Amino acid sequence: MTTQVDTLVIGGGAMGSAAAWELARRGRDVTLLERFAPGHKNGASHGASRNFNLSYSDPTYVAMLVEALRLWRELEDETDTRLLEQVGLVNHGQGQPFAEVHAALSAVGFDPEILGVDAAAERWPGIRFDTEVLFTPEAGRLNADASVTALQQAATAHGARVQHGMPATRLTVQDDDSVLVHTDTEQFRARRVIVTLGAWTGSLLGGLLPFPRLVVTQEQPAHFAVLDTSFTWPGFNHGYRPGTPGYEYWRSPVYGMHTPGEGIKAGWHGVGPVVDPDHRDFTAEPEQLLALRRYAREWLPGADPDAFTEISCTYTTTPDSNFVLDRRGPVIVGAGFSGHGFKFTPTVGRILADLTVDVPAPPLFALAR
């Protein structure tokens, strides 16, 4: 039996769910297939917290941020949920383009602020600062688990079919308006197919599309117990200049945030071991974890480096860390969100939906680049 649909979305994480929501509220016939059960922890869209980080100067990303803030609020209104808490975010560390970011954000109506080390330490005593600080008050924290649930709830309310436990096993392009998709239990024929499979993108689309090299890593942040609750914890990004004395143990810049009920989340960015997403152990690499605990001890006086819980997720990274959002024939792909894509989720959904009707994505995200 073959089920005919207008648009089939393969992959029900954040991006695929956002595409299904956007298509469904446009009145399109859309079916979303997800191989795992709701709330699974195998990919990149689980957990309770992601930074809604505004610290970009590239005009494409800045415009997407403005749109994403509006769309997150629309999703909250539709689903009567609270997903984004605007607790702000602090950026510090050597070699950061604070002036460019400040100018870009100010130009679109955000209100960034630059503070000295002493002023920042007084406002946020649980964080140690080593340079001036760029504070973005409109930034904050997203609940990732709740966001995926809300996106699928909203998509369903607009008429989308959301099917869990149904992995796509094969995709065959028949012509410019027909793709045949096989699963273990059902076959679909769609006019357009959107593939948002994260770490599994290559396993379905390898050889079909000329996407850039996608590297899948197992990232290993941790939650550290909160010691200082005298202030509202902002999100944080801490950069550094490799080779600087005292920073030799650093693996990368550090990001983090407060996850209510779990602690202060902190992690290295994009330097976990390369893995097969179907065969990984979810266990932190010991040396990286030890270095992360040292970071917490030295730079997060408001957190306990000895009381922690490991976290495991995947990054799917492109060589330039820009996303892949493009179309070839009837197949559209969203991939390579490189550990900084979640904040843009509803905007990505809109772009993927636009691609189904020949509205191009920003050139920055082209398949061939």
pLDDT at residue 368, rounded to an integer: 81
Tell me the pLDDT band of 55, cut-offs 50, 70 and 90: very high
In tens, the pLDDT along 198-224 reads 999 999 998 899 989 999 999 999 999
Q: Where in the chain is the domain with CATH 3.30.9.10?
A: 89-137+216-317
Q: Is the model's pLDDT at 102 over the cut of 90?
A: yes
Q: Where in the chain is the domain with CATH 3.50.50.60?
A: 2-46+146-212+320-365
In tens, the pLDDT along 279-315 reads 999 998 999 999 999 999 999 999 999 999 999 999 9
pLDDT at residue 207, rounded to an integer: 86
pLDDT at residue 211, rounded to an integer: 87
pLDDT at residue 369, rounded to an integer: 62
Region 352-363: mean pLDDT is 98
Q: Exposure string (b/e) for 154-193, b if CB count within 10 Å is 16 or more?
A: bbeebebbbeeebbbeebeeeeeebbebebeeeebbbbbb
Q: For residue 109, is it left (φ>0), alpha (ψ between -120 and 50) or beta?
A: left
The CATH classification of domain 89-137+216-317, taken from the options 3.40.190.10, 3.30.9.10, 3.20.20.70, 3.40.1360.10: 3.30.9.10
pLDDT at residue 354, rounded to an integer: 98
Superfamily of domain 2-46+146-212+320-365 in CATH is FAD/NAD(P)-binding domain (3.50.50.60)
Q: What CA–CA distance (Å, rounded) separates 84 from 76?
A: 9
DSSP state of 131: S
In tens, the pLDDT along 327-347 reads 999 999 999 998 999 999 999
In tens, the pLDDT along 67-87 reads 999 999 999 999 999 999 999
Q: Is the pTM of this model over 0.95?
A: yes
Region 151-171: mean pLDDT is 97
The partner residues of 217 in beta bridges, in order of sequence, read: 274, 315
Question: What average pLDDT is seen over the chain?
Answer: 96
